[in-house]
Each structure stands twice: as C-alpha cells, then as structure tokens.
C-alpha cells in the first residue's frame, strides 16, 4: 500500500495540498536502535509508520530514560516536528525499537498545509490530545503504582505486543522503559521468579503465571 492508504487525513486535503505533501515526503527504512529524533532542537518532520515500532522517551539529567509511549504501524508521530507548535517544546527522543519503515513529511510543508486546512489543524490537535493523554497516564502510573506493579504491567503489555510470553529483553531495557535503575529491576525480577511468576535466563524474561502478575496490588 502507498502513503495515502496509511495517512487518514489524505481524503480531506485538496489536490494542491496532496501534491505538496507527495512531492516533499520521503521514505526511510531504519534498523533497530536508530535514533530518529534528538530533542526539541531537532525538527525532523512528521513520521508515519508503515511497519515496525518506535519509542518516544525522555532523558533525566543523570541520563536515566523513561518511555512516554510507543508507536506502531499506521501511527503518526507529531513530536518529531514539535517546532511547528510554538507552545510545545519537548526534549523528547525517538528511537526505533524494531527495524522500521516510515514516511517523513517535512515540518515546514506540514505546517503550511495545517495553516490553510481546518481538517489538518483538527487532526493535529487530536494527535496532540492523544499524546498528552498518554503522558498523563504515565504520570498517574508513576505517582500511584508501586514499582513492582509497574514492572508486572510492563511485562504483560510487552507480551501482548509480541504475542509471546517469552520476552527477549534485558533488565537494562526494562529499567530504561520505566525510568529506574537496572539493579532495582533485577532485584524485583528475581523476587518474581521466587514467586513462580517469571523464569529468567540471559537476555530473556519468560512469563510463567500471567494471571498472578496481573493480580498484583498497586
């Protein structure tokens, strides 16, 4: 399928706007681990994912990471073009969690279309609201849930994404998603293993009792 089959705004744009986007967008294929966007000063453009998976995260002053949200097939990433929104400046990093194919709409082209198209402006506002909701949900998770519950929920979410209870994932990766230290995650996973909830091996966490993981108290 082509770009227009993935871009929900396409039918609502006029021919001139469609041609401007078509003429300026470009296609990229990136490997897992590639940094696609590096903070507020990097205004790359809007990403539309054809297939693969991206991760949006922030870095603390100490270099600790925490995941804000993930992006999957057909998702649009707006914060990679945050310069088009003067009131929003986030130091967000965006990286490929898997090998990913995507289209990039240059920020200046999309901004021009958005300024003359009510449909594009509304679509952009809806994207902003959705991502803001994701971040608010994350804040609630950090404030009100214990770390062991957050780790359990993360493992269950990851198993659902991968379609497998055998997760090829290091303790460092889990720590980076949750904004904590690797040794804390390791200690908690060992406790889970003692409880019969997971089985640990090098670079692998296998969920052995998803029901009990899901039932952990907040």
Kindly list the domain boundaries of the chain, sorted by start residue: 3-142, 145-214
Token pair 């401007």 is at which residue? 20
Question: Tokens representing 143?
Answer: 């404030």
68 C-beta neighbours (distance < 10 Å), count? 18
Specify whether domain 145-214 bears CATH 1.10.10.10. yes
61 C-beta neighbours (distance < 10 Å), count? 5
Residue 81 or 30, more confident = 30
Q: Render pLDDT for 132-165 as a digit per residue (tens, 0 to 9).
A: 898 898 988 888 999 999 999 999 999 999 999 9
Question: Tokens representing 14?
Answer: 């006029």
Confidence category of residue 119, pLDDT binned at 50, 70, 90: very high
**3-142 and 145-214, same CATH topology:** no
Question: Percent of the chain beyond pLDDT 70?
Answer: 96
Contact between residue 121 and residue 114 where contact means Cβ atoms under 8 Å apart:
yes
Q: Residues 201-205: what's their mean pLDDT? A: 95
Distance of CA 214 to the CA centre of its chain: 22
pLDDT at 123: 93
pLDDT at 60: 83
Place domain 3-142 in its CATH homologous superfamily: Jelly Rolls (2.60.120.10)
């Amino acid at each position: 399928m082509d770009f227009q089959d993935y871009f929900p705004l396409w039918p609502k744009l006029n021919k001139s706007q469609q041609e401007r986007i078509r003429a300026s967008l470009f296609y990229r294929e990136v490997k897992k681990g590639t940094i696609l966007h590096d903070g507020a000063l990097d205004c790359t453009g809007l990403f539309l994912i054809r297939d693969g998976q991206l991760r949006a995260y922030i870095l603390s002053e100490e270099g600790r990471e925490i995941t804000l949200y993930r992006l999957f097939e057909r998702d649009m990433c707006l914060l990679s073009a945050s310069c088009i929104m003067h009131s929003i400046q986030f130091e967000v990093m965006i990286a490929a969690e898997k090998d990913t194919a995507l289209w990039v709409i240059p920020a200046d082209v999309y901004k021009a279309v958005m300024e003359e198209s009510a449909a594009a402006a509304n679509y952009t506002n809806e994207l902003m609201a959705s991502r803001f909701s994701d971040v608010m949900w994350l804040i609630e998770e950090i404030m009100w849930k214990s770390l062991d519950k957050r780790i359990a929920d993360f493992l269950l979410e990851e198993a659902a994404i991968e379609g497998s209870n055998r997760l090829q994932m290091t303790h460092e990766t889990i720590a980076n998603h949750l904004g904590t230290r690797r040794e804390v995650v390791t200690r908690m996973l060992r406790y889970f293993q003692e409880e019969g909830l997971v089985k640990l091996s090098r670079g692998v966490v296998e969920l052995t009792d998803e029901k009990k993981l899901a039932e952990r108290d907040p």
